[in-house]
Amino acid sequence: MRTSKLRRLALAGLLGIGMCAQAKAQFWGGDEHTPSLVIAPSNIQLDVPMPVSSGNLQLMLAQATSGGGLAELKQQAVRNYTQHLHSEFARELYEHLEDEKVPLVESEGVLTLQNALDLKVIKHLSSMKPKGDYDIEQGEVALSGEFRYTLSNRGGTPLREQRIDISELDIQEKYLVRTYHDGRATEDTTEEAIKDALSELAEALLQTMEDNLEADQLREMASL
């Protein structure tokens, strides 16, 4: 029960979901001198590629003809990937704050964490060739963009700030698309590769932040 309440609270801060939850330090069982923390809703701007394989393109064109435009299909993909990234980042952040026994509150915290992410998923094609009764496409997805976060006090004064170049994290995942000549369903691991890359990104971002999110560092900031 305790873990469930904490997870919902962390997710609420990152996803901007309004919820009524008791926000007291004893949820975390932490040191009473550790400053409380508000997590502002994340600002995530995400761009993803349209599928380029012939099988997927034909499917998308068919869906567009039946009433769903290509732009709407892409926006749906963006929403799905954004939700995945929100959830993964919330989980990483929640687990770290729980380990540090940081009191997490919805408002009026001693400190506030704000973060923003401008992210682009890039699809690199390495080969496309016929093989037996199907065509095979292989490549990788990579991530680029910028992540920014700020820890500030009640007055809004920034106490810690950091900008991270996503491309320097060198996150890449391989994908494969197999399109059959006889009309069988296309096998495509692109979505899985993108989600794996986003999960890896969430973990990497938390690693860049965790030194500033340790309890002793937060106590030091609160004393400034």
| Domain residue limits, the chain | 2-218
pLDDT over 80 at 81, yes or no: yes
Residue partners of 58: CB distance under 8 A and separation at least 6: none
**Each residue of 154-190: pLDDT tens digit?**
999 999 999 999 999 999 999 999 999 998 888 999 9
Q: Which of 50-54, 61-65, 81-85: highest mean pLDDT?
A: 81-85
Statement: 2-218 belongs to CATH 3.30.479.10: no
Q: What's the pTM?
A: 0.80
Residue partners of 195: CB distance under 8 A and separation at least 6: 81, 84
Using alpha carbons, list the distances in angstroms from residue 104 to 38, 121, 127, 222.
6, 32, 48, 14
Give the Cβ contact number of residue 106 at 10 Å.
Answer: 17
